[in-house]
Structure 1
Amino acid sequence: MPSPSFHSKMSSDSDVPMDPEMAFLDDEDLEREAEVFKEQGNAYYIKKDYSEAFNYYTKAIDMCPKNASYYGNRAATLMMLSRYREALEDSQQAVRLDDTFVKGHLREGKCHLSLGNAMAASRCFQRVLELESDNGQAQQEIKNAESILEYERMAEIGFDKRDFRMVVFCMDRALESASACHRFKILKAECLALLGRYPEAQSVASDILRMDSTNGDALYVRGLCLYYEDCIDKAVQFFVQALRMAPDHEKARLACRNAKALKAKKEEGNKAFKEGNYTEAYELYTEALTIDPNNIKTNAKLYCNRATVGSKLNKLEQAIEDCSKAIKLDESYIKAYLRRAQCYMDSEMYEEAVRDYEKVYQTEKTKDHKHLLKNAQLELKKSKRKDYYKVLGVDKNATEDEIKKAYRKRALMHHPDRHSSATAEVQKEEEKKFKEVGEAFTVLSDPKKKSRYDSGHDLEEDGMGDVDANNIFKAFFGGPGGFSFEASGPGNFFFQFG
Structure 2
Amino acid sequence: MATVGYDASADPEMELLSDEELEREAEGYKEQGNAHYIKKDYTEAFSYYSKAIDMCPKNASYYGNRAATLMMLSRYREALEDSQQAVRLDDAFMKGHLREGKCHLLLGNAMAASRCFQKVLELEPDNSQAQQEMKNAESILEYERMAEIGFDKRDFRMVVFCMDRALESASACHRFKVLKAECLALLGRYTEAQSVASDILRMDSTNGDALYVRGLCLYYEDCIDKAVQFFVQALRMAPDHEKARLACRNAKALKAKKEEGNQAFKEGGFEEAYELYSDALTIDPNNIKTNAKLYCNRATVGSKLKKLEQAIEDCTKAIKLDESYIKAYLRRAQCFMDTEQYEEAVRDYEKVYQTEKTKEHKHLLKAAQLELKKSKRKDYYKVLGVEKNATEDDIKKAYRKRALMHHPDRHSGASAEVQKEEEKKFKEVGEAFTVLSDPKKKSRYDGGHDLEDDDMNMDFDANNIFKAFFGGPGGFSFEASGPGNFFFQFG
Q: Distance in 2 between matches of 1:387 and 1:164?
A: 53
* Range that drifts further, 121-130 or 55-64: 55-64
Distance across 2 between alignment mates of 1:44 and 1:467: 107
Q: Distance in 2 between matches of 1:188 and 1:369?
A: 40
Q: Is the 8 A contact 2:9 2:15 kept in 1?
A: no
Deviation at 1:97, TM superposition (A): 2.1
Secondary structure in 2 aligned to 1:17? Answer: helix
CA distance in 2, matches of 1:491, 1:183: 85
Counterparts of 1:154-193 in structure 2, within 5 Å, are 154-193=146-185
- Listed one character per residue, the Cα deviations across residues 194-216 of structure 1 (whole Å, up to 9, x for unaligned) are 12111111111111111111111
Shift of 1:436: 1.0
Q: Following the alignment from structure 1 to structure 2, what is the Cα–Cα distance between the partners of residues 319 and 373?
A: 20
- Further displaced range: 252-261 or 409-418: 409-418
Report the equivalent of 2:478.
Answer: 485
* 1:364 matched residue in structure 2: 356
Q: CA deviation at 1:404?
A: 1.8
CA distance in 1, matches of 2:341, 2:128: 71
Structure 2 CA distance for partners of 1:477 and 1:470, relative to 1, 3 Å: same
User: Which digits, 9 at most, give the CA deviation of each residue in 1:27-63, with x for residues without a partner?
Assistant: 4454444444333333333333322322333333334
Residues 484, 464 of structure 1: alpha-carbon distance in 2 compared, 3 angstrom cutoff: farther
Q: Distance in 2 between matches of 1:158 and 1:481?
A: 88
Report how far residue 344 of structure 1 moved: 1.4
Partner Cα distance (1:344, 1:136) in 2: 70
C-alpha displacement of 1:234: 0.8
Structure 1 residues 48, 468: CA separation in 2 closer, same or farther (over 3 Å shift)?
Answer: farther
Aligned partners of 1:216 and 1:243 also within 8 Å: yes
Check the 8 A contact 2:409/2:477 in 1, yes or no: yes
Distance 1:494 1:271 in 2: 59
Maintained 8 Å contact 1:115/1:178 = yes
Q: Secondary structure at the match of 2:486?
A: strand
Counterpart secondary structure, 1:489: coil
Partner of 1:59: 51
Deviations 1:331-387 (CA, angstroms, capped at 9, x unpaired): 111111111111111111111111111111111111111111111111111111111
TM-score normalised by L of structure 1: 0.91
1:17 deviates by 4.3
**Aligned counterparts of 1:44 and 1:470: Cα–Cα separation in 2:** 112
Q: Helix, strand or coil for the counterpart of 2:480?
A: strand
- Farther-moved stretch of structure 1 (462-471 vs 364-373): 462-471
Question: In the alignment, does 2:374 pair up with 1:387?
Answer: no
Q: What do the CA deviations read for 1:370-419 (whole angstroms, capped 9, x no partner)? A: 11111111111111111101111122222222212222222232233333
Q: Is the 8 A contact 1:278 1:313 kept in 2?
A: yes
**SS of structure 2 residue aligned to 1:214:** coil
- Whole-Å separation in 1 of the counterparts to 2:451 and 2:31: 99
* Aligned residues of 1:227 and 1:235 also touching (Cα < 8 A): yes
Say if 2:71 is the partner of 1:79: yes
Distance apart, 1:444 and its partner CA:
0.3
Tell me: CA distance 1:19–1:467, structure 2 relative to 1, closer, same or farther (3 Å).
farther
1:233-281 deviation digits (Å, cap 9, x = unpaired): 1111111111111111111111111111111111111111111111111
- Report the Cα distance in structure 1 between the residues aligned to 2:243 and 2:177, rounded to whole angstroms: 16
Contact 1:34/1:60 (<8 A) preserved = yes
Cα distance in 2, alignment partners of residues 432 and 97 from structure 1: 107
Secondary structure of the corresponding residue to residue 464 of structure 1: coil
Q: Distance in 1 between matches of 2:485 and 2:118?
A: 106
Whether the aligned pair in 2 keeps the contact of 1:40 and 1:56 (CA below 8 Å) is: yes
Contact between 1:78 and 1:84, CA under 8 Å: does it hold in 2?
yes
User: Per-residue deviation at 1:159?
Assistant: 1.8
Q: Work out whether residues 18 and 62 of structure 1, in 8 Å CA contact, stay in contact via their aligned partners in 2.
A: no
Question: Residue 453 of structure 2: which of 461, 467, 486 is its match?
Answer: 461
Shift of residue 21, structure 1, vs aligned partner: 6.6
- 1:207 paired to 2:199: yes
Report the Cα distance in structure 2 between the residues aligned to 1:234 and 1:45, rounded to whole angstroms.
46
Give 1:217 deviation, angstroms.
1.2
Alpha-carbon shift at residue 497 of structure 1 (Å): 5.5
Map Cα deviations across residues 57-114 of structure 1 (whole Å, 9 max, x no partner).
3333334333322222221121121110011111112212222111111001000011
Shift of 1:129: 0.9
Comparing 279-288 and 30-39, the one that deviates more: 30-39
Deviates more, 1:59-68 or 1:282-291: 59-68
1: CA distance, partners of 2:245 / 2:393: 71
State the alpha-carbon separation in 2 of the partners of residues 330 and 470 from structure 1: 58
C-alpha contact (below 8 Å) 1:230/1:298 kept by paired residues:
yes
1:490 offset after TM fit, Å? Answer: 4.6
- Assess if the C-alpha contact under 8 Å between 1:341 and 1:357 holds in 2: yes
Moved more, 205-214 or 483-492: 483-492
How much does 1:470 deviate?
A: 3.0
Secondary structure of 1:396's aligned partner? coil
416-425 or 440-449, which deviates more: 416-425
Q: Is the contact made by 1:37 and 1:60 (CA closer than 8 Å) also made in structure 2?
A: yes
SS of residue paired to 2:108: coil
Cα distance in 2, alignment partners of residues 45 and 172 from structure 1: 31
- The match for 1:494 is 487
Structure 1 residues 496 and 269, CA, compared in 2 at 3 Å: closer, same or farther?
closer
Distance 1:495 1:109, change over 3 A: same
Residue 453 (structure 1) shift: 0.8
Contact 1:439 1:464 in 2 (8 A): no
Q: Is the 8 A contact 2:8 2:15 kept in 1?
A: no
